[in-house]
Structure 1
């Protein structure tokens, strides 16, 4: 595995985006650990549910419906949702005010259970995320996939990114880059690929002093079709 110098990746991204100043404007820094720890549990459940529904559906349609979801599911307060009976879940899933997709609606219950279990152990879900080891971010992805519902693939990482968590994203451009340097060989979601990717990003972070968010975005801007 050969790792390109991050300074070379940055230079190429800068050239493609019109200079360092323009490139920096495109980057989104993560929240601090303190900010992450203060995010209420219901906001985590809301964003996980949003990303689950957006997967394979029109993001615009889902976003337009989301205020109805917030009202319909008690503003995603997990402790209230877990008081519902199976019959009440079926009724909620069939309501025309939301997107009627029973399997996806039931992920709300499963992910509420995950969040409540984390609350019991760590005080809050945000507190658990805030103290997750920074050098094992793919371990957090695995946690969401194992303990939640439909949070595997890129769904969990995209949700974390939207909540301000410092994580890289294996977008098409980033995955293509990693394959071109043989950091990823074979399946993207295998343990071998995840470990190699995590190791590479930790190397670039130590080299550059930048967040995973920024490194991931800069790599994406350095390759593929996203020119000016």
Structure 2
């Protein structure tokens, strides 16, 4: 596995310093994430779930309709979604009428409510240590609905927390570095990825988000 600076130099050579710097994002501070309202976490989760396997531009174009149809993703109201409301949503042309994905709104509202005992979604999801990001992904997969894999990763990135995304290019770099030998799926492969990111964070002083982006731009 190369030192992070060697990978950075590859990305720098491919894109040049101005373009590379312009594409790097910085996560939000912990206090800002802690203050993110529960309905916004649910909105972000839902958006990423509906984008999975679908044209993102269609979801973007319909998103105002989603917000209206789900009443601003009010947590209490969505957690109490009954069959009558679900039937109404299945006929609502403002949204993409995918029944299993619509039901995740109720399930993930309940999940977010369950985090209140630990300080709330912003505190738990936003404050989870980057050195154990795979632990957070496990929580999203096991306690949330359809938040395993890329959907959970994108939801955390879009919320503004420090997060890696195992895109095709990031995966290609991880394989080239011998961190994994095939796209990640097992717990052992995810732990190997976390260990590699932890080493690169120590070497570079950067977080998961920027390291992930630099890995992608090195391919």
Task: Report the TM range for the smaller structure's normalisation.
Answer: over 0.9
The structure 1 segments of at least 4 consecutive aligned residues displaced by more than 3 Å after TM superposition are: none
Q: 1:111 aligns with which of 90, 108, 115?
A: 108
Equivalence for 2:22: 25
- Tell whether 2:161 aligns with 1:165: yes
Match 2:78 to one of 67, 78, 81: 81
CA displacement, residues 129-159 of structure 1 (integer Å, 9 cap, x when unaligned): 2331221001111111111111111110011
- Number of equivalences: 219
Return the TM-score normalized by structure 2: 0.96
The match for 1:183 is 179
Q: Distance in 2 between matches of 1:209 and 1:148?
A: 31
Q: Which residue number corresponds to residue 191 of structure 2?
A: 195
Counterparts of 1:208 and 1:182, CA distance in 2: 19
Identify the residue that residue 93 of structure 1 maps to in structure 2. Answer: 90
RMSD: 1.2
Q: For residues 63-108 of structure 1, what are the alpha-carbon distances to aligned partners after superposition, in whole Å with 9 as ceiling and x for unaligned?
A: 1111011011110011112233222222222222221111110011
The alpha-carbon deviation at position 202 of structure 1 amounts to 0.4
2:11 alignment partner in structure 1: 13
> Partners in 2 of 1:63 and 1:133 — Cα distance?
30
Q: Shift of residue 187 of structure 1?
A: 5.2
Unpaired segments ≥5 residues, structure 1: 224-228
Q: Distance in 1 between matches of 2:194 and 2:166?
A: 11
Q: CA deviation at 1:186?
A: 4.4
Deviates more, 1:78-87 or 1:56-65: 78-87
Counterpart in the other structure of 1:142: 138
Structure 2 gaps of 5+ residues are: none
Query: Alignment partner of 1:167: what SS?
Result: coil
Cα distance, 1:25 vs. partner? 1.3
Shift, 1:22, TM fit: 2.7
SS of 2:166's equivalent?
coil
Q: In structure 2, what is the Cα distance between the partners aligned to 1:111 and 1:148?
A: 5
- Please state if 1:217 is matched with 2:213: yes
How far is 1:122 from its partner? Answer: 2.1
Q: TM-score, normalised by structure 1?
A: 0.92
Q: Which residue of 2 aligns with 1:64?
A: 61
Residue of 161, 181, 201 corresponding to 1:205: 201
